[in-house]
């Protein structure tokens, strides 16, 4: 979970002080898999489309666009493709490799793995 999201959740918890559930509720009944039956598929699609419209996004946006964008950004930021495969729940690496064709390769500075190691160690000792 990102540090930004953790800070936001901590602020929410401090302000709202939920007693039983973080977001004041739990799924009543699950209609299939992990999908929460309180939200219809069309309702979720509508919310995504309305959010895109409010953000001024002209391109057609679907719920799957969020998943695709998430995976693409992970790859662009340097996450290895095997980890992305596991996060997305793909059985075959070829499925995950589809995300590589839209990825923008950014020229990165050359760095030493030793620098990365020291950076991680210094974060862990704080």
List the chain domain ranges: 58-106
| SS3 (DSSP) at 9 | helix
pLDDT at residue 75 is higher than 90: no
Instruction: Give the rounded percent of residues in the chain with a pLDDT score beyond 90.
Output: 25
| Dist. CA 9–CA 4, nearest whole Å | 9
**Beta pairing class for 35-36 and 30-32:** antiparallel
pLDDT at residue 39 in the model: 67
SS (H, E, C) 92-117: CHHHHHHHHHHCCCCCCCCCCHHHHH
pLDDT at residue 73 in the model: 85
Number of H-type helices and E-type strands within the chain: 6, 2
Q: List CB contacts of 29: < 8 A, sequence separation 6 or more.
A: 37
| Dist. CA 16–CA 45, nearest whole Å | 28
């Amino acid at each position: 979970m990102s540090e930004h999201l953790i800070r936001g959740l901590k602020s929410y918890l401090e302000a709202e002080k939920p007693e039983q559930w973080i977001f004041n509720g739990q799924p009543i009944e699950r209609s299939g898999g992990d999908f929460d039956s309180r939200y219809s598929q069309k309702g979720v699609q509508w919310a995504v489309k309305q959010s895109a419209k409010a953000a001024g996004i002209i391109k057609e946006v679907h719920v799957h666009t969020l998943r695709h964008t998430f995976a693409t950004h992970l790859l662009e930021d340097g996450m290895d493709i095997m980890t992305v495969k596991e996060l997305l729940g793909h059985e075959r690496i070829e499925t995950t490799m589809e995300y590589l064709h839209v990825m923008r390769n950014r020229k990165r500075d050359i760095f030493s793995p030793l620098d990365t190691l020291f950076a991680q160690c210094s974060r862990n000792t704080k």
